Amino acid sequence: MQTRSALELEDIKKIAAAAEAEARKNNWAVTISIVDEGGHLLWLQRLDGAAPVSAHISPAKARTAALGRRESKVYEEVINGGRHSFLSAPTLEGMLEGGVPILKDGHCLGAVGVSGVKSTEDAQIAHAGIAAIGL
């Protein structure tokens, strides 16, 4: 039997605070979502000025990254590369850059999803959040 790490509330708060700081530093109005390894929402924070739709896109990106155990941009690249049939993949809705898995010791602990600015900037915010817990 394996023993593995799990996100705790304190970790989630650190991730959220660092992601928010990165967004505010750049004056980016975004929604930040954090999910567990099963894609279940643990945190949703919509910054002032963020578009309402970002509150739907952000958790979808996070769920996709957690369930796939890889950045959501991988799926975007597959689709943009011509594999359009991948759009029919069940359960995956946020197949855009901006969802980043939280990985430790080869296990996915969850993911961060961000929506509201350019996809590369969304991912930048997610990575900044995850870095706050040393991963």
- Per-residue pLDDT tens for 102-117? 999 999 999 999 999 9
According to the model, what pLDDT value does residue 3 have?
86
CA-to-CA separations, 107 to 37, 94, 101, 102, 103, in angstroms, rounded: 9, 21, 10, 8, 6
pLDDT category at 64 given cuts 50, 70, 90 is: very high
Q: Which of 90, 64, 66 is nearest to 77 (CA)?
A: 64
**Helical residues (DSSP H) of the chain, grouped into ranges:** 9-25, 54-68, 73-80, 119-131
